[in-house]
Amino acid sequence: MGTKKIMAVILTIIACMFWGLGGVLSQHVMQTFHVLPQELTMLRMSITGGGVLIYLALRKKLPGKEFFENSSIWKRFVTFAIAGLVFNQFSYLKTITLTNPGTATILQYVAPILLLIYYCLVGKRWPKRKEIFAILFTIVGILLITTHGKVGQLVLSKKGLVWGMLSAVGMVFYHMLPLPLIKRYGPLATTGIGMAIGGLCLSLFIHPWNHLDLMNGHFILWLVLTVIVGTLTPYVLYLKGIQYLGPLPVSLIGTVEPVASTLLTVFLLKTSFVLLDYLGMGFILATVLLTVHDK
């Protein structure tokens, strides 16, 4: 493995650990300051996107005239911003409010199975043996987490489960949509432009500045931490990993995130999990390993 690929692996691991911490920070902000998921999504994306664009402008690395003249590029960026970033972030934060960061992250990692099903349908083929096991492991894992083995009796709210599955769909879009953009503009510009577009679109409907009583130094400090740790840094580093390693190896390394998120949820938020929760998480993590290894 070359130096660039080794560095990409390290950066991806750091990104996943930051994402795990970002989920915990996001829950703290939403609970402490009564910020809604859609409001935090808008703030995170606007601040991140604006900050990256200012940085690129100062470094004179903003895209050239062809960016503004090529409508297909704009359409790709808008699609990535809405389906790949807004949808992914909002559904994940919504799942956190209905469950906890650890559970939300684990449910999000059903995404590799959704990718597998998609490729089977597009390729008009049946799943391979390992892929069938991966699908079964996912079903077992979700059942253990949501029912604790008592089928028909949910221990996880239905809304939490639905939003968790939607966050997995959002993660699929996040993996698939930006690849042509990363190749053309790089991970930093792709992240910044996508975040800025997503934040701008959300600001047309969501106005968190109506809660001006919350805009104190304490809130701003936690918001900046959430933006830097949970949004800007991991998104850029993760896309850098995809650029050099490809989506599937990055998905394998991504198993660091649910582990980190679960441990941080237990130790920092004092959230308790039972043995069946950990067993269900293990099945879903095994699913990711099986899926990527088979590729």
Residues 277-280: contacts with CB within 8 Å, 24+ apart?
277/103, 277/144, 277/145, 277/148, 279/144, 280/106, 280/140, 280/141, 280/142, 280/143, 280/144, 280/145
Q: What pLDDT is stored for residue 242 in this prediction?
A: 76
Short-list 235, 241, 111, CA closest to 172:
111
Please list the pLDDT of the chain residue by residue as tens digits (295 residues): 577 777 877 888 888 888 888 888 898 899 888 889 999 999 999 998 998 899 888 888 888 777 777 888 889 999 999 999 999 999 999 999 998 887 887 788 778 778 778 878 888 888 888 778 877 887 787 777 767 777 566 567 889 989 999 999 998 898 888 888 988 888 888 989 999 999 999 999 887 767 656 667 888 899 999 988 888 888 788 878 877 777 666 766 666 666 677 777 777 767 677 788 778 778 877 766 665 555 4
Question: By residue range, what is the domain housing residue 241?
Answer: 3-293
State pTM to two decimals.
0.79
Q: Which residue has the tokens 């008592």?
A: 150
Q: What pLDDT is stored for residue 83 in this prediction?
A: 93
Q: What pLDDT is stored for residue 278 in this prediction?
A: 79
254, two tokens: 């991504």
Q: What pLDDT is stored for residue 211 in this prediction?
A: 65
Q: What pLDDT is stored for residue 288 in this prediction?
A: 61
Q: What pLDDT is stored for residue 94 in this prediction?
A: 95
Q: What pLDDT is stored for residue 269 in this prediction?
A: 65
**Structural domain count of the chain:** 1
Q: What pLDDT is stored for residue 19 in this prediction?
A: 81
